[in-house]
């Protein structure tokens, strides 16, 4: 049994989607980040930086923090979406999500969606970066069916949830043909639909 400590965010969706994709039984323990439950002493014991998501694999009594590390762990454990032959390229695109796509689009959310009007510099800076990321992903997906090649992998599972908030970005996903094709194809996967709604059963994936 996997216990998923999480919240209804892109980083949280990654692990809900992965668990659905690999068909593992799991229990969700909600962490109310609005009330700063992520900084409770007990949670900090398994998440040193006070971040969600975290999983505990009760089969071997291991806890794993950081969403990228969790995806790698579950990929190795299940033998799915993280094949050894393509691991180097998968790791590169996974780290690109962890180091660039998530943090930069996350800042765009902070300035453009949550706190508009508080910093013109911040809004302009992260809008430009987010728009550039859309273009860079589109360029990659022009020559590759999925981010790491012909197969759907944990790199796609990690990245897709950030594009699932495209309505917040005001960039226009529909303007990026290859990125839109990728987004739509993943959106139609049964496990993605279920994983997106892992915390809110009524949640519907945003359309392009």
Query: Over the stretch 170-193, which tens digit does the pLDDT of each residue have?
Result: 999 999 999 999 999 999 999 999
DSSP 110-124: IIIIISTTS-HHHHH
CA distance 36 to 15: 20
- Beta-ladder partners of 57: 2, 62
**Mean pLDDT for the chain overall:** 96
Give the residue from 22, 7, 2, 5 showing the smallest Cα distance to 192: 22
Per-residue pLDDT tens over the stretch 52-109: 999 999 999 999 999 999 999 999 999 999 999 999 999 999 999 999 999 999 999 9
Q: Is the model's pLDDT at 201 over the cut of 90? A: no
Q: Which two tokens stand for residue 94?
A: 């996974």
Average pLDDT over residues 196-200: 92
- 191: three-class secondary structure by DSSP: helix
User: d(Cα 103, Cα 94) in Å, to the nearest integer?
Assistant: 13
pTM as predicted: 0.96
Q: Which domains does the chain have, with CATH numbers?
A: 2-81 (3.40.30.10), 84-189 (1.20.1050.10)
């Amino acid at each position: 049994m996997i216990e998923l400590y999480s919240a209804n965010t892109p980083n949280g969706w990654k692990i809900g989607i992965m668990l659905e994709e690999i068909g593992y039984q799991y229990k969700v323990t909600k962490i109310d980040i609005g009330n700063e439950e992520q900084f409770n002493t007990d949670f900090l014991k398994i998440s040193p930086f006070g971040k969600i998501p975290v999983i505990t694999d009760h089969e071997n009594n291991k806890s794993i923090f950081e969403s990228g590390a969790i995806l790698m762990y579950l990929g190795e454990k299940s033998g799915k979406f993280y094949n050894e032959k393509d691991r180097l390229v998968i790791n590169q695109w996974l780290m690109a999500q962890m180091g660039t796509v998530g943090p930069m689009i996350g800042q765009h959310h902070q300035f453009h969606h949550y706190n508009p009007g508080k910093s013109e510099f911040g809004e302009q800076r992260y809008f430009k970066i987010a728009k550039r990321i859309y273009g860079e992903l589109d360029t990659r997906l022009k020559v590759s069916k999925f981010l790491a090649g012909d197969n759907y992998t944990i790199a796609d599972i990690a990245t897709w949830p950030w594009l699932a908030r495209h309505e917040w970005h005001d960039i226009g996903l529909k303007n990026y043909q290859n990125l839109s094709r990728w987004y739509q194809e993943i959106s139609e996967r049964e496990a993605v639909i279920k994983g997106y709604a892992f915390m809110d059963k009524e949640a519907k994936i945003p359309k392009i």
